[in-house]
Amino acid sequence: MAWWDPRSHSLECTTCRPESAQADYPQQAFDPGDPGGSSRERYERLHARRDKAIEGKWGRFAGVVKFLTDDPQSTRAWRSGSQGERKLASYLTEHLGDRVVLLHDRRVPQTRANIDHLVVAASGVWIVDAKLRKGLIELRDVGGWFKVDCQLYVGGRRQTKLVDDMGWQVEAVRHALGTPTVPIHPAVCFVDGEWRLFAKPFELKGVMVCWPKELVKKISDEGSLGPEDVLAVAGYLASSLPAKASTRSADPPR
């Protein structure tokens, strides 16, 4: 048994490690992050850029143009994404409470990417990508007679890329932890999604595709991590994958 420090990439045996250092992570106050903060900031930046362009082109008629038109879909998608992340974060907080550690909107160092939600529980580390999409969510086999080729469809459109995008997030979390022993579970969670009657969550390429209620059930399963393990793992992740938009200094939502 030994302690792993992801910041210095070093091991220290439990005998040599000072008692004060052993208590660092269990007693640490984690910054939970700002759910949907990055998406909201991106939307506000694009929205402000559009307003400025309209004002430059239409002058005193800019207000009328703004009232009669809306942001392009590519801009509205960021607003929708932020709403989905905040809604899922609220649901997880309400239904999981103090049984887990929730970390939102985590920055991946040396990249421009972020991870929507990390949930550390007895069952392991859950990497959750929240999606607020319209349309029926289903798993289709498009492989034909002699070949199985399962794909994710949302609203009749192939969206397997949402599952593929979880690969780099899993690698980022594995690197942050520095150990293969902690179970990692990637999930794409559709907030307010449409499902067939009697539908069940499904797994595609090692990624669970589900809705919030089923996600909570899976996270709540028994696992190999004890309370101290949960706090220690959460500490490593909070340090290695810091909050992208810290709630301690963020402006209140407008």
Structure-token pair, residue 96: 């999981």
Range of the domain at 63: 30-240
Domain contains 23: no
The answer to whether 134 touches 67, Cβ cutoff 8 Å, is no
Predicted confidence at residue 219, as pLDDT, reads 95
Q: What is the spatial distance between Cα 64 and Cα 30, in angstroms, rounded to a whole number? A: 46
3 pairs with which residues across the strands?
12
Domain contains 11: no
C-alpha 199: how far from chain center: 23
Q: Which of 10-19, 32-41, 86-95, 121-130 has the lowest mean pLDDT?
A: 10-19
Predicted confidence at residue 50, as pLDDT, reads 75
**How confident is the model over 6-20, as a mean pLDDT?**
60
- Whether residue 60 is predicted with pLDDT greater than 90 in this model: the reply is no
19-40 pLDDT, tens per residue? Answer: 444 433 343 456 777 776 676 6
103-156 pLDDT, tens per residue? Answer: 999 998 888 889 999 999 999 999 999 998 889 999 999 888 888 999 999 999
The answer to whether 79 touches 70, Cβ cutoff 8 Å, is no
Domain contains 85: yes
Domains contained in the chain, number: 1
Higher pLDDT, 243 or 3: 243
Q: What is the spatial distance between Cα 242 and Cα 126, in angstroms, rounded to a whole number? A: 16
178-226 pLDDT, tens per residue? Answer: 888 899 999 999 998 899 988 999 999 999 999 999 999 999 999 989 8
- Phi and psi of 238, rounded to 5°? -65, -35
> Of the candidates 197, 162, 174, which has an alpha carbon nearest to the alpha carbon of residue 84?
162
Domain contains 35: yes
Domain contains 12: no
Sheet holding 101-107, edge to edge: 101-107, 114-121, 124-131, 184-190, 207-210, 202-204
Among 57-66, 70-79, 190-199, 201-210, top mean pLDDT goes to 201-210
User: Please, what is the end-to-end C-alpha distance for the chain in angstroms?
Assistant: 49
**How confident is the model over 48-55, as a mean pLDDT?**
77
Read off the pTM: 0.76
If you average pLDDT over every residue of the chain, what do you get?
A: 81
Domain contains 10: no
Higher pLDDT, 217 or 5: 217
Predicted confidence at residue 61, as pLDDT, reads 72
233 pairs with which residues across the strands?
none
Domain contains 41: yes
Predicted confidence at residue 209, as pLDDT, reads 97
Predicted confidence at residue 248, as pLDDT, reads 41
Domain contains 105: yes
Read off the pLDDT band of 85 (50, 70, 90): confident
Predicted confidence at residue 196, as pLDDT, reads 92
Higher pLDDT, 50 or 251: 50
